Structure 1
């Protein structure tokens, strides 16, 4: 049984032949329902020039969701330091924390948020990839500005995203809680946690090591429905395995017709074995196993499936299986009326 907080990473997947306004409408509805289901926090990821994920600034989505909800924690997961002026990030999230006390998180990451080199350079005004020293200086400056320059009231809770031991080492040195990208590089998770816990130094932000583990999680009533729901993301991942940049997010029907090579199937199966995809029983069992293996203090579920109905159903089934959320007949019927990826 899972007795730690469960949270959500929202990546705003863009469906084929839909408008940005449709995706934004769905993210608002999703935040409201995730709050009702009892999820602890919702984070928004920064992406640029992606045919599959909306280029919606995390600070804007956080502000809108905070105004549309009442209790769930909200923030970036992450906002990418190399793309922003540290003082501006401190001002933005400091303002949000003053407007919504004790509800705002500032998750900071390093990557450019795009596979397109021209876009990455445009975000940095022509500069090349950030160095380790530059990234460390940016994160330190953000934290300093939060305390010394902003100080509008309650501060946002800072986190550092990490998918490598180097990122974990920086989080440990600064005494920050760490969000581990197990959904991206699961093979690095053990080394990340060992480095973080071994080198952690207490700070004003965190007195002891604190770990949030992000896991790809797709839950459906049957294994077949879960496999169909995750199919479009499998196609995107298969392209990345071949070194291609992100492709448009296919429909479940298109994904079902996609011909994977034997090597792709093997790689996807190995990755999925380290995530949580399947029926409620399978998903909760795998999440509980990850908590035992990693000692995580919190799990963040990311569900890259095609439509809002399927995403909401996935998160509801997890909570329902844990006994943390009980739905009446009226709500059950409402979910049943929403389209599922298995029906597309």
Structure 2
């Protein structure tokens, strides 16, 4: 039994043998089903120039989903501050919040959203990687513009995304709720959360530390089926372990034929030990363990599996077996 709310992260994987437009259409059905299931929020991640992930702007997906759902909170998880002018982020998400009161989140992150250096520079008008000071100033300016320039009434709820102590330190300094990428850097989770809670400064946005933890979650009727569904993402992870950033998202059949090395299998297994895969009983136990270990007030599930039906079934099984607020 899980006693914290459950949310979802949409990464919009483009399946081998399909087109990006097919993935884009699936996002609508996905949002509507999660709304019906009672998930608290659904966030969209920003990615660029990837053969495995659609380059769909979070603000556009948020607007479309908000118009086709009724209760679920929607937003970015995250929109990447260095790629955007702060005033534009404030105007875009401020407008969404005015159109859909108390349903819009502005989750802000730092990364470029791509492994391709030329793409990263194009996103930033030729500039190189942002500095710590530059990122802090961008986030602070976005928050300031929300209050001073937009002023349309209901504001979006701001969150800072983090995967390290540095991100946690900034969230604490600015007094923002923090969403931690346990699904990316599980080795950093506990130390970063400790730092955030120890150094948190209350702000008008958040009176006390507030933590959401994102967990990679694949749930199926059997352990074997869950393992089968996890295969495509395991291929992508194996490619990343080799330093290959341009790895397509294969079908489960293609993934089952992938020649994993012993090192790749060990790396994938080590990562998976921190996530939640298996039957509903196994997944609920793992999610409960993560919630207890981290003290998270909310868990966000990311489910990178091939085919919309299988992905939705995973979220359905979790929700059916979890008694959540």
Q: Is the 8 A contact 2:104 2:156 kept in 1?
A: yes
Counterpart CA distance in 1 for 2:324 and 2:41 is 15
Counterpart CA distance in 1 for 2:99 and 2:177 is 23
Unaligned runs of 5+ in 1: 326-344
Work out the number of aligned pairs and report it. 325
Cα deviations by residue, 1:225-266 (Å, 9 ceiling, x for unpaired)? 001101000000000001111311111001000111111111
In the TM superposition, what are the counterparts of 1:63-102 in structure 2 within 5 Å? 63-102=63-102
Deviation at 1:19, TM superposition (A): 2.1
Q: Is the 8 A contact 2:163 2:181 kept in 1?
A: yes
Cα deviations by residue, 1:312-331 (Å, 9 ceiling, x for unpaired)? 00000001112569xxxxxx
Unaligned runs of 5+ in 2: none
Counterpart CA distance in 2 for 1:161 and 1:257 is 35
In the TM superposition, what are the counterparts of 1:138-157 in structure 2 within 5 Å? 138-157=138-157
Counterpart of 2:132 in structure 1 is 132
Q: SS at 1:53's partner residue?
A: coil
Q: Is the 8 A contact 1:94 1:152 kept in 2?
A: yes
Deviation at 1:191, TM superposition (A): 1.1
1:313 and 2:309 correspond? no
Q: SS at 1:82's partner residue?
A: helix
1:193 and 2:193 correspond? yes
Q: SS at 1:271's partner residue?
A: helix
CA RMSD of aligned residues (A): 1.0
Calculate the TM-score normalised by the size of structure 2.
0.99
Runs of 4+ in 1 over 4 A off after TM superposition: none
Counterpart CA distance in 1 for 2:144 and 2:279 is 45
Counterpart CA distance in 1 for 2:10 and 2:202 is 30
Counterpart of 2:164 in structure 1 is 164
In the TM superposition, what are the counterparts of 1:1-344 in structure 2 within 5 Å? 1-323=1-323
Cα deviations by residue, 1:88-122 (Å, 9 ceiling, x for unpaired)? 00000000000000000000000000000110011
Counterpart CA distance in 1 for 2:75 and 2:250 is 28
Counterpart CA distance in 2 for 1:323 and 1:5 is 9
Counterpart CA distance in 1 for 2:323 and 2:4 is 13
Q: Is the 8 A contact 1:38 1:324 kept in 2?
A: no
Counterpart CA distance in 1 for 2:36 and 2:71 is 9
Q: SS at 1:194's partner residue?
A: helix
Q: SS at 1:108's partner residue?
A: strand
Deviation at 1:200, TM superposition (A): 0.1
Q: Is the 8 A contact 2:6 2:324 kept in 1?
A: no
Counterpart CA distance in 2 for 1:7 and 1:246 is 28
Counterpart CA distance in 2 for 1:7 and 1:162 is 17
Cα deviations by residue, 1:18-77 (Å, 9 ceiling, x for unpaired)? 222211111000000001111000000000000000000000000000000011000000
Q: SS at 2:12's partner residue?
A: coil
Cα deviations by residue, 1:177-215 (Å, 9 ceiling, x for unpaired)? 000000000000011101100100000000000000000
